[in-house]
Chain A
């Protein structure tokens, strides 16, 4: 028994050592983890908040869970944690917003977790990505991306991407590719992440628009896809800037066309696909949703909160660094827009061969 206690004590000692060592880092204001703020801190925060918030009908009174339906370190995770960091830094919310990763099933596991709370539950948010729309349409999620299953809180950003090409080709623009592909059907390989994803949608749309036959090669990881394009195993891919901007700038991958509403700030000389005469402008939408049946005043509160987040300088820097396009929409606008996005995805996914 003595020995056991000794063991426990030593374990505790090591732990406390580790904990003390990391103390300085914790006290920096920029910490984005969800610290269990002590009650005193919580109160002062609440007080300062009470003075700054303009008369809102509803204010949260307990910690809010922010479900990230993907793993740590991914694009979605980084975005949500940045927002939480900004909320803490500027004390925008009287309670803690706690990010919770629930990965699996391309987001479905996370949304299942969200839906475990009753309809109208006010303290759980979740972020969305392309799979929020694609999974139900391809029959791999029980949740419809509309108001029957979710309340829409705010739309944040769009992810522009760039069509890239392996160095072994000297294609300069989409016309070059289309010309070659017409002469050699099935020869060019387009790599993408997942089987019914934004990447696949872009390729099948291009196939349909230009009447060509590119072959789609699915990958399960962006890193492996990038490596395959660098090694020339795959000819083409679409990639968001955040993922391979270094390669685009260094010329280790050639850039063909931007998929964006406007030309990209990082590549002002790269024409968009639309400018090149192909109506390819499908981009990923990132927004926030809640359970269905949440009252309008609650939605208005969160919508206002995230509007404040997107107005900060920190957020603008973050969006620029990650080459996203700021596209904030409040809850009413996002609800209407989501219906359009759903319709678009249904059209696009009809082009992906099913059987």
Chain B
């Protein structure tokens, strides 16, 4: 997890160029011409976007290298380039939210959305270890109650319901 800002920028530049190319390939594959029946075709804007993304990706390479050159003499630029941008606790947090999000996405249909949200809040709080488990459960259930009042009773949103009827 020792990704430096500079490396990050280079990766971003590379990814942008790839994304741009993928867009251009998709435009070709999905048969989206820039001009169709002498009118502006469906592929016009996407093609421009693809080219622009490649261009600015390349520009980012240039910017980063220019900054590296400057970094040799300028301490602040150097410090900026050497900062670590990722930290393990954040990534753990990211993974946690990602898994819980996917859980809500997939399981709501069977268990009901409110129950899934309640469970994910409790799991998250226990996982983070900042609250005692019983507090986590109270918070989770209280929040579910509020969500139920706002979204089901008040706003009448037809959320996916589980076997228990909510």
Chain A positions near chain B (C-beta within 8 angstroms): 1, 4, 8, 11-12, 15, 18-19, 33-34, 36, 65, 98, 100, 353, 355
The answer to whether B158 touches A1 (Cβ under 8 A) is no
B139 at the interface (CB under 8 A from A): yes
Q: Which residue of A lies closest to B156 (CB)?
A: A33
The answer to whether A98 touches B158 (Cβ under 8 A) is yes
Chain B positions near chain A (C-beta within 8 angstroms): 36-37, 135, 139, 142-143, 146, 149-150, 153-154, 156, 158
The answer to whether A353 touches B158 (Cβ under 8 A) is no
Q: Closest approach, in angstroms, between the C-beta of A158 and any C-beta of chain B?
A: 29
Q: Which residue of A lies closest to B158 (CB)?
A: A100
Q: Which residue of A lies closest to B36 (CB)?
A: A355
- Residue of A1, A11, A100 near B146 (CB, 8 A) is A11
In whole angstroms, how far apart are the Cα atoms of A34 and B142 in the complex? 25
- Residue of B37, B146, B158 near A12 (CB, 8 A) is B146
- Residue of A8, A18, A36, A355 near B142 (CB, 8 A) is A8
Q: Which residue of B lies closest to A353 (CB)?
A: B37
Instruction: Tell me the dominant secondary structure on chain B's binding face.
Output: helix
Provide the residues of chain A in CB contact with B142, threshold 8 Å: 8
Question: What 8 A-B pairs have minimum CB-CB distances, sorted nearest first?
Answer: A100-B158, A8-B142, A15-B149, A33-B156, A19-B154, A11-B146, A15-B150, A34-B156
Provide the residues of chain A in CB contact with B158, threshold 8 Å: 65, 98, 100
- Residue of A8, A19, A34, A65 near B153 (CB, 8 A) is A19
The answer to whether A18 touches B156 (Cβ under 8 A) is no
Provide the residues of chain B in CB contact with A355, threshold 8 Å: 36-37
Most chain A CB neighbours (cut-off 10 Å) among B139, B143, B158: B158
Instruction: Tell me the dominant secondary structure on chain A's binding face.
Output: mixed
Provide the residues of chain A in CB contact with B143, threshold 8 Å: 8
Provide the residues of chain A in CB contact with B154, threshold 8 Å: 15, 18-19
Q: Which residue of A lies closest to B152 (CB)?
A: A36
- Residue of A1, A12, A100 near B135 (CB, 8 A) is A1
The contact sample of 9 A-B pairs, CB cut-off 8 A, is: A1-B135, A4-B139, A8-B146, A12-B149, A18-B154, A19-B153, A19-B154, A36-B153, A100-B158
Q: Closest approach, in angstroms, between the C-beta of A312 and any C-beta of chain B?
A: 24
Provide the residues of chain B in CB contact with A1, threshold 8 Å: 135
Q: Which residue of A lies closest to B33 (CB)?
A: A355
Provide the residues of chain A in CB contact with B36, threshold 8 Å: 355
Provide the residues of chain B in CB contact with A4, threshold 8 Å: 139
Provide the residues of chain A in CB contact with B37, threshold 8 Å: 353, 355
Q: Closest approach, in angstroms, between the C-beta of B9 and any C-beta of chain A?
A: 37
Q: Closest approach, in angstroms, between the C-beta of B30 and any C-beta of chain A?
A: 13
In whole angstroms, how far apart are the Cα atoms of A11 and B143 in the complex? 11
Q: Closest approach, in angstroms, between the C-beta of B107 and any C-beta of chain A?
A: 16
In whole angstroms, how far apart are the Cα atoms of A19 and B151 in the complex? 12
In whole angstroms, how far apart are the Cα atoms of A4 and B139 in the complex? 9
Q: Closest approach, in angstroms, between the C-beta of A185 and any C-beta of chain B?
A: 15
Q: Closest approach, in angstroms, between the C-beta of B41 and any C-beta of chain A?
A: 11
Q: Closest approach, in angstroms, between the C-beta of B118 and any C-beta of chain A?
A: 14
Q: Which residue of B lies closest to A99 (CB)?
A: B158
In whole angstroms, how far apart are the Cα atoms of A11 and B148 in the complex? 13
Q: Which residue of B lies closest to A11 (CB)?
A: B146
Provide the residues of chain A in CB contact with B146, threshold 8 Å: 8, 11-12, 15
In whole angstroms, how far apart are the Cα atoms of A353 and B36 in the complex? 12
In whole angstroms, how far apart are the Cα atoms of A100 and B37 in the complex? 40
Q: Closest approach, in angstroms, between the C-beta of B152 and any C-beta of chain A?
A: 8
Q: Which residue of A lies closest to B131 (CB)?
A: A1
Provide the residues of chain B in CB contact with A353, threshold 8 Å: 37
